[in-house]
Amino acid sequence: MSETTLVTGIGELVTNTEEFGTLRDAAVVLDGERVAWVGRADAAPDADVRVDVAGRAVLPGWVDSHTHLIFAGDRTAEFEARMAGQPYEAGGIRTTVAATRAASDEVLALNLHRLRQEALRQGTTCLETKTGYGLTVTDEKRCAALAAEVADEVTFLGAHVVPDTVTADEYVDLVCGPMLDAVAEHVGWIDVFCETGAFDAEQSARVLAAGRARGLGLRVHGNQLGPGPGVRLAVEHGAASVDHCTHLTEADVDALAGSATVATLLPACDLSTRQPLAPARRLLDAGARISLATNANPGSSYTTAMAYCVATAVLQMKLSIAEAIWAATAGGALALGRDLHAEGAVGVLRPGARADVHVLDAPSAVHLAYRPGVPLTWSVWHRGTQVVIPTAP
């Protein structure tokens, strides 16, 4: 029998579900790795352990559906140059590729675990991460194997950029053949950077088709640095998500609105690369599904802070608090192909969902945007285990 925990005294409980909505004076019961009960505190059943959160707000743990955490080195100098006016053109990816290839598995694993813990301490309980800084069969394979030890979802991004030593078409052959064979046991997804300077529409389509033939889910990096075919391609191939979506035409917005493909928006990256912020409001108003993620990586977005993305989405992208929180939790789950009603669902709090609970040191979730930059995470349960223990009553 697993131990049950009653989390009670919840001032505001965001469940992301139609049946429970947002509750005041609420409680949840956790049973092992699952949520067992949700409702009003005065109707809560008994449990083995009782934790009173004294009027604080509770939400599902963040679902960060886009990160690149398997790398070595950092790119402070590139960032400084950018802040002095240099444009971001993704060329720095090669700097990280060189550092990653030179690093031992131990160094890569240490950095990966450091960043995973950093994210968890801020309430990120479900996390995707990608390969993409190896770009040889051996290096992509070891990056995929390391990622699979830590992440909820692992994406193969061999098609990140073309290494200097081969042509783009030769490299696509490698990605779709021996490299895919080598990583397949460790990954559930395939991704391609469809952008001028990386892979064109035809090359990207080959990568997606090869992934699909291996039974992998599809996602696309698209429309990051300028308008392009990424969104159209993702929708045509039925990708679960197209990520970045910074530069969208009306046709792109319409295509997303008429599809199940989630537009994953990465505001920390847009800010760090001095791009415009993705048109979140336009997408939602058109009826598209969106998620918010950090894009944590050493080049374009060196942050694991989902709360920063939520605050930016509210303060600068014109989302409501509820829309931004949904996009950073349930929206992320949809971008990862998860069913919000399934046993063990993430991004929602209802009986049967995974016991991933984020308690804020604030009476309501509005404080995420009202007090931007303040570390508001007070406690976190991850798969039913309290991994962030509050220091203050």
Binding annotation for N-formimidoyl-L-glutamate: 133, 297, 299
């990051």: which residue's tokens? 224
Closest CB to ligand NIG among residues 6, 93? 93
Site for ligand NIG in 300-339 (CB under 6 A): 300
Residue 390: which of 96, 67, 58 has the closest Cα? 58
List binding-site positions for 4-imidazolone-5-propanoate: 75, 133, 160, 224, 300
Q: Which two tokens stand for residue 49?
A: 């352990």
Residue 292: which of 260, 262, 251, 259 has the closest Cα? 262
Q: Is 221 in the site for ligand NIG (CB under 6 A)?
A: yes
CB of 231 to ligand NIG, least distance (A): 14
Task: Give the binding range for ligand NIG (CB under 6 A) out of 92-100, 311-319, 329-337, 376-384.
Answer: 92-100
Closest CB to ligand NIG among residues 301, 377? 301
Site for ligand NIG in 96-115 (CB under 6 A): 96
Question: Distance (Å, rounded) from C-alpha 266 to C-alpha 66?
Answer: 8
Site for ligand NIG in 14-33 (CB under 6 A): none
Q: Which two tokens stand for residue 208?
A: 């997606």
Angle, helices 137-148/105-121, rounded to nearest 10 degrees? 40
CB of 276 to ligand NIG, least distance (A): 15
Closest CB to ligand NIG among residues 142, 219? 219
Residue 53: which of 329, 384, 360, 348 has the closest Cα? 360
The H or E element that residue 209 is part of is helix 201-213
Q: Burial of 15 by CB count in 10 Å (0-12 exposed, 13-18 middle, 19+ buried)?
A: buried
Site for ligand NIG in 222-261 (CB under 6 A): 224
Q: Is 93 in the site for ligand NIG (CB under 6 A)?
A: yes
Site for ligand NIG in 154-173 (CB under 6 A): none
Length of the chain counted residue by residue: 393
CB of 302 to ligand NIG, least distance (A): 9
Closest CB to ligand NIG among residues 15, 272? 272
Angle, helices 306-315/321-328, rounded to nearest 10 degrees? 150
Q: Which two tokens stand for residue 368?
A: 């995420």
Task: Give the binding range for ligand NIG (CB under 6 A) out of 25-33, 87-95, 177-185, 210-218.
Answer: 87-95
Query: Apex CA 111: angle with CA 130 and CA 148, to 5°?
Result: 40
List binding-site positions for Zn(2+): 66, 68, 221, 295
Handedness of CA 283, 289, 292, 295 (dihedral sign): negative
CB of 157 to ligand NIG, least distance (A): 8
Candidate list 295, 312, 377, 386; residue touching ligand NIG; CB under 6 A: 295
Kindly calculate the radius of gyration of the chain based on its CA atoms and give it in whole angstroms.
Answer: 21
Question: Distance (Å, rounded) from C-alpha 143 to C-alpha 28?
Answer: 38
Binding mask 173-212 for ligand NIG (x = CB under 6 A): --------------------x-------------------
Distance between alpha carbon 64 and the CA centroid of its chain, in Å?
2
Question: Distance (Å, rounded) from C-alpha 203 to C-alpha 208?
Answer: 9
Task: Give the binding range for ligand NIG (CB under 6 A) out of 42-50, 135-143, 182-190, 294-302.
Answer: 294-302
Closest CB to ligand NIG among residues 259, 297? 297
**Interface residue list for ligand NIG (CB under 6 A):** 68, 90, 92-93, 96, 193, 221, 224, 269, 295, 297-300
